[in-house]
Chain A
Amino acid sequence: MHAFANPARFLRLARWLMPLLLVSGLVLSMGAVLYGLLVVPPDRLMGETVRILFIHVPAAWLGMAGWSTIAIASLVELVWRHPLAAIAARAAAVPGAAFTAICLATGSIWARPTWGTWWVWDGRLTSFLILLFLYFGYIALSGAAQRDMASGGGGNRITAIFGLVGAINIPIINRSVVWWNSLHQPPSITAGKSSIDGTFLWPLLIAAVGFSLIFGGVVLARMRTLLAEIQTEARLRRKALG
């Protein structure tokens, strides 16, 4: 892990890995979405709306995976003081928030023809909306922390603690459909088991892999952005000090 603590070594890796992740992710995810749209048959109960599955479910997984990334990177930052961990956590926030918003929007659209309503304040939907607000808070806090660090403060530690504390929402989201009554269906895929028919399951898994690769590519692109900003800032400060 510490082998990549050196930003120059990380940049060498990111330069070839980022385009590879983005291109393969776009091919896989868009291919799976098109397959779901054009080839997969309508579901017996949900009809044609089952095709929303191939966007909604990967977006939900990545919304939660984004905060899990923030929590793990925050822990690494606090415990091992890994220099790239804070950057990785900050880089995961915007794609995590984007996929959480996509999940909420597509879920709401899916709910209207299947449940007869756009929204219900049940455990799953409410905890996922809270996740979106946590992302907004984290993005605002990490932006303020960067300005604080530039003036010698310890804002990154506060951001990392917020990232760790916010992770409590992830198991709540996961178990919400089991703990509370909900219009949302119970988990269809659990460890080693799935109640989804193979016709829908395989394109769903391919879409999930594709969107995950896109997520990884975007995180690497945003890490490169943050590193370049830090290097520019440091160079300008050195010049100003003579």
Chain B
Amino acid sequence: MREGLNQWDYVMAALAIGVIGTLLLVGLSLVAMVRSERRRDKVRAK
């Protein structure tokens, strides 16, 4: 291992980016979907 780096720091950083990024993508997509479908239903009901 070069420079005495702790490999686990890199593993945890990469997994955190991957998992948090994926969960954010899913969460934000679902929120956007619910909002736009609610707006459509509101416009239809008027």
- Please list the residues of chain A having a beta carbon within 8 angstroms of any beta carbon in chain B: 22, 26, 29-30, 33, 37, 47-49, 51-52, 55-56, 59, 94-95, 98, 101-102, 105-106, 109-110, 112-113, 116, 211, 214, 217-218, 221-222, 224-225, 228-229, 231-232, 235-236, 239
Contact = CB atoms under 8 A, between A and B. Distances in A.
22 contacts: A37-B11, A47-B7, A48-B11, A52-B10, A52-B14, A55-B14, A55-B15, A59-B18, A94-B29, A101-B21, A102-B18, A102-B21, A105-B14, A105-B17, A106-B17, A106-B18, A109-B10, A214-B26, A218-B29, A225-B37, A232-B40, A236-B43
Contact of A56 (B1, B14, B21, B40): B14
Nearest to B7: A48
Contacts of B15: 33, 37, 51-52, 55
Interface string B8-42: 10110111011101100110011011001101100
Nearest to B9: A113
A31 B42 CA distance: 39
A195 to B, nearest CB: 22
A235 B26 contact: no
Contacts of A239: 46
The main secondary structure of chain A at its interface with chain B is helix
Interface residues on B, range: 20 to 34
Contact of A49 (B11, B29, B39): B11
A7 B21 CA distance: 30
A235 B40 contact: yes
Contact of A228 (B2, B37, B46): B37
Nearest to A103: B18
A217 B30 CA distance: 10
Contacts of B43: 232, 235-236
Contacts of A51: 11, 15
A112 B10 contact: yes
Contact of B36 (A113, A217, A232): A232
Contacts of B8: 48
Nearest to B44: A235
Contacts of B7: 47-49, 113
Contacts of A116: 2
Contacts of A112: 5, 10
A104 B15 CA distance: 13
Contact of B33 (A37, A106, A225, A232): A225
A18 to B, nearest CB: 8
Contacts of B39: 228, 232
